[in-house]
Structure 1
Amino acid sequence: MFLADRFVVGTCPICGNEDANGDQCENCGSDLSPLELINPRSKVSGDIPVIKETTNFVFPFADFQPKLEEWINSKTDWKPNVINYCKGWFKTGLRDRDYTRDLNWGVPVPLPEHEGKVIYVWFEAPIGYISFTKELFEQRGEPEKWKEYWHDENTKLIHFIGKDNIIFHALIFPAMIMAHGEYILPDNVPANEFLNMGGGKFSKSKGVGALLKDVLADYNSDLVRYCLASTFPENKDSEFSFDEFVTKNNNELAAILGNYINRTVVFAKSKFENKIPARKNTSTDGIEIFNYIKSQAKVTADLFDGYKLKDGLTEVMNIVRSANKYFNDSEPWKIFKTDKEKCAEIINNCLQICHSIAIAISPVLPNTSEEILKTLNKDKSDFTWDKIGEIVLENNAELGENKILFPILEKKEAAPEIKEEDNLISIDDFKKVTLKVGEVIEAEKVPNSKKLLKLKLKVGEKEKQIVSGISDYYTPESLIGKLIIVVDNLKPSKLMGIESQGMLLAAKNGKELKIVTIDGNISNGAEVS
């Protein structure tokens, strides 16, 4: 059995990286073969591989260097890191590449007398982009429509990738297309540097990173998009941390974006009967802020069109910051007392800006954008980029329901290491804890939270409210009437802005959790000892 290139590791002969793969060094980006590695070893067993002869199909990559150089030199709008990477390959000279391997997995070579030969992954993978498109439209009953995407010169093919895949998408796949003809070449390859975690590159094989489904179980999807876009490694490697989720949610999305939308809508609801206050058709009030927002929309569009998502997002947030400044400087809470008509103009402007913000944030925060439109009770008839900074909301239109867009998150503190002897308490310490039986009389899910339930308990003569993270294990309906054990003298705390006046007891083993209940019947309020 032959080892796949990636299952042979060793020292890179170019930069000395001791963990270079058999096809490429991720440290310096050099194209390698397993035979070039110094001190090669099997990634599977750690043994030194035995070299054996075989015959492979070869793609004449070197023959396409002149065409590729001419094509790359014409790309004046590509990112410098991509252009420089390609020119580095041209400088050392492109080499023909074997595109088959002797493996028991992969796409078989569809020719007789070549059983056991498979097409190497980075030759067949880009072809998959085309076959996926064909498959999609065959399933839709439009078997010829795929050609509009791959044969039409007006189509733009964009590869969003990491820098370690530049070679495959900016050189090898284009050379394959040149060899075949008929298919469109990439319009752009906006490759980014590495997004690292804990100082290392995200790598499924090395266990560095997190699965998206697991992240989305704990965090708002728009928050995830925002954090990734705002830390995008567009020009240099950047570091990702889950602590950033809390910081960016609380200090940016909640404090800047959510705060502006909420304060504007709440003011309109309380002072203008939940309606968009009327403005005069001839009003020029706030013209400076609208002109600024229009100019920012142009700057932002150019950045997004140039695949500079991080910089584009920064300019979007600058729009929101300017909106907050306009609200503060206009002081509508003061103006309302002396000139209600002028105050109406100010709040109308602020609501119009809310609509502009909904459009501007939509490329990165699509769900939040939809929520803002619902709050404004506005359809998408004016939801186009050229409407940013325009007056589109109608006077006296009813506003929709307002909601907190980004509730404050609490940072998860790392638990200190506890020695067994440090974990012992005295009987006097235990006596400080008052445990009582509580009867669940009401239960409901906490809005915007996937884990929290809000419980109303009867504990003797009093009622109290507890917020608990048990939504994954119990439905609200299943808890009604249960007699549970609660810590009755715990200081109140807030979870997701809701006061919790105690804590219920539960037992957890792995993914299983059970609330501690009473064996038999006993009155709520009974003490537990």
Structure 2
Amino acid sequence: KLSHFTDDLMEYAERSSHWRPHVRAFTINVLKDSLVDRPITRDISWGVPVPVGGFDDKRIYVWFEAVIGYLSASKEWAMLEGRPDDWKKFWTDGDCRSYYFLGKDNIIFHTIIWPAMLIGHGGLDLPYDVPANQYMNLEGQKFSKSMGISIAIPEMLHMFKPDIIRYYLSANMPETKDSEFSWEDMSQRVNNELVATYGNFLHRALSFTHKNFGEMPALGELDDCDRNAIARIAEASVFVSKAYSSCEFRVALKAIMDLAQFGNQYFDQVAPWSLISKDKARCGTVLNVSMQIAKALSVMAFPFMPFSSESIWKQLCMDATIEEVGWKGIEDGLVAGRKMEKPVPQFAKIEATSAGDFQKYSVLDLRIGKVREVRPHPNADKLYVMSVDIGRPITIVSGLKEFYSAEELCTKTLVVLTNLEPATLRGVKSEGMLLAAEGDGKLALLTPERDLPAGTQVTSGLDVGSKTISFKEFQKLDLRSGTLSAEQPATVDVGGRMVACTMKDGKPGMTYAVLMNADKSVVMTSSDGVKIVFDREIQAGAKIR
């Protein structure tokens, strides 16, 4: 009987002044409108049975039993760990705070229904905070996978490092109002904030220290500028910690970026390059202070960017890991004299491209194929009949005889267009097509950068075609070989023309298979992010057919 708990719930919501304003206001408004009692069963055949006799044809309402999972999972965990009473530390200890992270459409279940159930049970702690986010939209449209308005995080991970994605989503988090995901905004914020400010300070400080000392320099006598920098670290630590505790994550991230900007200003002000030759001890001191700023940044940013934070921590010659040391790592001292590893840049500029720009390639169903047998075509001197495993055996008739011997092909792992309209070539049915680039009288087959199982999809971050396409339709698509330059953001040479390319961790000078769209390109990758290359050298810009 939900209405029975109205007064208790109102008192609970009114005293929770630390809740986000929209969460608290929504909850209080619902309570003021009078609670309506809700049935907790449904007349359906699937779901959790009612554990009371006489209700065999009913099931428990999903939002009644789902929230119980918070408690029951805790009890099960304690039992499996062999400490059956440990769940009580989370549910009966008044000093333990529980946070429920969710979307705004689930507020009512966590500020009204679940607390009412806990109050009714008695003796259990209520949610301390319910930091519900508003909605994030995709370039002006509501996310809808069924309508194709979506972003697949696994596919994004094939193009960008996890911390780059985490940074942008955190900086753009819809904490108090709806926000917009925009590929252009992602590029600008990553390049202008994460790379130009945060990553720039870390790499310039670490690189200069490694180049001129090779070890962690000692901290000498401090001047006012140094003391101000150390005080700034302490202030930021307190501020960011409070922001985390109050679930003001964008505020926390902004303060971290402000500290990185301060680090750049400090580094410019003390100008270690002017000290290295005339006062190396003083140079060591200002670099040690710079390393303290870098260490503080790595710890504070760890919840947002754990991978790069741990990398910086290691480059600072610190013991253990941030995950093990925790927040106190900000105050842990640097160990002078420890040999430094060569610093590795954490971030590079990106060219974030909407998958929609390349949606025309979603008609393709490309898969990894392993050649099992090659034999001469019985009715054509220039053709092979090949048995290829794409997760199932298929027959392909190919015109590769001019370029490859049968023995060479029998060892190949290749890329196969599997949804091409079958064609009968000189009496033999061909069920697919091997992809190859041809240019300047040479031909090179597409192959994964490392071995993959037969049948692995080559998605390139796009949907996979489910319908058969004709060879004429395939010819309308522009697939080419592209040689990666050393420039950032990534660009590839596609035959005397440089175009932006979306890829992660490419090797400059390497030639990749790319999908083209005007002055943009995307490197072809398998569903697990392995890039597609060529089995032999081929000129940049060669057409893939």
Cα gap change, 1:514 to 1:362, in 2 (>3 Å): closer
- Given candidates 490, 500, 509, the residue that maps to 1:500 is 509
Tell me how far apart the structure 1 counterparts of residues 526 and 98 of structure 2 sit (CA, whole Å).
46
Query: Deviation of residue 138 (structure 1)?
Result: 2.4
Are residues 1:196 and 2:137 paired? yes
Counterpart CA distance in 2 for 1:69 and 1:417 is 50
**TM-superposition CA deviations, 1:299-319 (whole Å, max 9, x none):** 111111111001111001101
Q: Which of 326, 332, 341 does residue 266 from structure 2 map onto?
A: 326
SS of 2:133 mapped into structure 1: coil
Deviates more, 1:501-510 or 1:131-140: 501-510
Q: Does 1:310 align with 2:246?
A: no
What is the number of residues matched between the two proteins?
A: 411
When residues 271 and 123 of structure 1 are mapped into structure 2, their CA distance, relative to the original with a 3 A threshold, is same
Is the CA contact (8 Å cut-off) linking 1:256 and 1:324 kept in structure 2? yes
**Following the alignment from structure 1 to structure 2, what is the Cα–Cα distance between the partners of residues 524 and 188?**
59
Q: Structure 1, unaligned stretches of length 5 or more?
A: 1-59, 419-435, 439-458, 461-465, 476-484
Matched residue, 1:363? 303
Q: Amino acid of the residue matched to residue 324 of structure 1? A: N
Query: In structure 1, what is the Cα distance between the partners aligned to 2:108 and 2:514?
Result: 56
Partner of 1:295: 235
Structure 2 letter corresponding to 1:153: G
Q: Which residue of 2 aligns with 1:122?
A: 63
Compare 111-120 and 195-204 and name the one that shifted more: 195-204
Q: What's the counterpart of residue 432 of structure 1?
A: none
Per the alignment, do residues 85 and 205 of structure 1 end up closer, same or farther by CA in structure 2, a change over 3 Å counting?
A: farther
CA spacing shift, 1:194–1:335, aligned 2, 3 Å = same
Q: Which is further off, 190-199 or 498-507?
A: 498-507
Give the residue type in structure 2 aligned to 1:302.
K
Secondary structure in structure 2 of the residue aligned to 1:301:
helix
Contact 1:505–1:516 (Cα < 8 Å) also in 2: no
Report if the CA contact (8 A) 1:352-1:391 is conserved: no
The residue correspondences of 1:142-291 to structure 2 (distance < 5 A) are 142-202=83-143, 208-272=149-213, 274-280=214-220, 286-291=226-231
What is the correspondence of 1:5-84 to structure 2 with a 5 Å cutoff?
Answer: 60-84=1-25
Q: Does the residue aligned with 1:286 lie in a helix, a strand or coil?
A: helix
Q: CA deviation at 1:99?
A: 1.2
Q: Which residue of 2 aligns with 1:471?
A: 449
Q: Does structure 1 conserve the Cα–Cα contact (< 8 Å) formed by 2:233 and 2:259? A: yes
Please say if residues 272 and 283 of structure 2, whose CA atoms lie closer than 8 Å, have aligned partners that are also in contact. yes
CA drift of 1:505 comes to 9.4
For 1:192, give the aligned amino acid: N
Amino acid across the alignment from 1:471: E
Q: 1:184 to 1:324 in 2, by over 3 A?
A: same
> Cα offset for 1:340?
2.5
Secondary structure of 2:59's match? strand
- Secondary structure of 1:131 counterpart: helix
State the superposition RMSD in angstroms.
3.9
Moved more, 233-242 or 309-318: 233-242
1:371-403 Cα distance to aligned partner (Å, 9 max, x none)? 011111111499453563x57112222112421
- Tell me if structure 1 keeps the 8 A contact 2:220–2:281: no
- 1:92 correspondence with 2:97: no
SS at match of 1:94: coil
* Structure 2: segments with no counterpart, 5+ residues: 361-401, 405-438, 454-479, 484-493, 516-522
Choose which of 283, 293, 296 in structure 2 pairs with 1:353.
293
Query: Is the partner of 1:98 in helix, strand or coil?
Result: coil
Comparing 374-383 with 360-369, which one deviates more in the overlay? 374-383
Which residue of structure 1 lines up, in the alignment, with residue 277 of structure 2? 337
In the TM superposition, what is the alpha-carbon distance from 1:151 to its structure 2 partner? Answer: 2.4
TM-score by length of 1: 0.68
8 Å contact from structure 2 (residues 222, 285) kept in 1: no
Q: Counterparts of 2:44 and 2:357 in 1: how far apart (Å)? A: 47
Q: 1:123 to 1:275 in 2, by over 3 A?
A: same
Give 1:206 deviation, angstroms.
6.4
What is the letter of the counterpart of residue 340 of structure 1?
Answer: K
User: Which residue is 1:377 aligned to?
Assistant: 317
Of the structure 1 ranges 505-514 and 397-406, higher mean CA displacement relative to structure 2 is found in 505-514
Tell me if the contact between 2:308 and 2:346 (Cα under 8 Å) persists in the aligned partners.
yes
Residues 355 and 437 of structure 1, relative CA distance in 2, 3 Å threshold = farther
Residues 379-418 of structure 1 correspond to what in structure 2 (within 5 A)? 379-380=319-320, 383-385=325-327, 388=330, 390=331, 392-412=333-353, 415=357
